[in-house]
A and B are shown apart, each in its own frame.
Chain A
Amino acid sequence: TQLLEQSPQFLSIQEGENLTVYCNSSSVFSSLQWYRQEPGEGPVLLVTVVTGGEVKKLKRLTFQFGDARKDSSLHITAAQPGDTGLYLCAGATTSGTYKYIFGTGTRLKVLA
């Protein structure tokens, strides 16, 4: 059962545009990760956020963890074709044994 909803599910934009992907849950997470996955490959870790309200930047990508640690966003500035891929958020839960719950995914296509 997926506890993390991502929006939008699909996004097709032109090179140079900005975009934001959202990851929402009713659960509180001890940390949240963002991954990017290309077809036929495993997810590659982009960033981990731990503290409520935390903002991290990775070149043109900005990640924010919600104050209540239930949601997160990924903002890409001036998207490039190389940003194309499936973006996944994953929350680490500690109810019982800790584990990572993955979001539903956002498929991004950046057109040249």
Chain B
Amino acid sequence: EAEVAQSPRYKITEKSQAVAFWCDPISGHATLYWYRQILGQGPELLVQFQDESVVDDSQLPKDRFSAERLKGVDSTLKIQPAELGDSAMYLCASSLLGAGYEAFFGQGTRLTVV
């Protein structure tokens, strides 16, 4: 069964350090999403790609966060410098292009900033 792959599963970093997360979506899925989820809450969209283009990054803190999907396949989300408040689960999801297609999630990366 096709899955969204994310790595690493867990990451502990010191504040002010740089950290990066990787996501490989389900093959053929044009749309890729990065979400941030605080423990016990619903995910919040950080950035949405359609192929290699960003279609929504309105909630991405652009002073420290960046995301890319250079070849329209896998994607990287970077935080530099990390802050204590960035501790959260970072989820990647992908879907076919178009409304009504379900988003499928990876297992997430649990980030702890100390």
> Which residues on A are within 8 Å of B, measured CB to CB?
2, 4, 6, 30-31, 33, 35, 40-45, 48, 50, 86, 88, 90, 92, 94, 97-105, 107
Contacts and interface: CB of A to CB of B under 8 A. Distances in A.
Interface in B44-66: 44-45, 48, 50, 55-56
A99 B41 contact: no
Contacts of A33: 102-103
B42 A2 contact: yes
B85 interface: no
A43 B99 contact: no
Contact of A104 (B41, B104, B110): B41
A41 B41 contact: no
Interface of B: 4, 6, 33, 35, 40-45, 48, 50, 55-56, 91, 93, 98-100, 102-108, 110
A50 B42 contact: no
Contact of B33 (A30, A41, A88, A100): A100
13 contacts: A40-B108, A42-B91, A42-B93, A45-B104, A50-B100, A92-B100, A97-B55, A100-B33, A100-B93, A102-B42, A102-B44, A105-B40, A107-B40
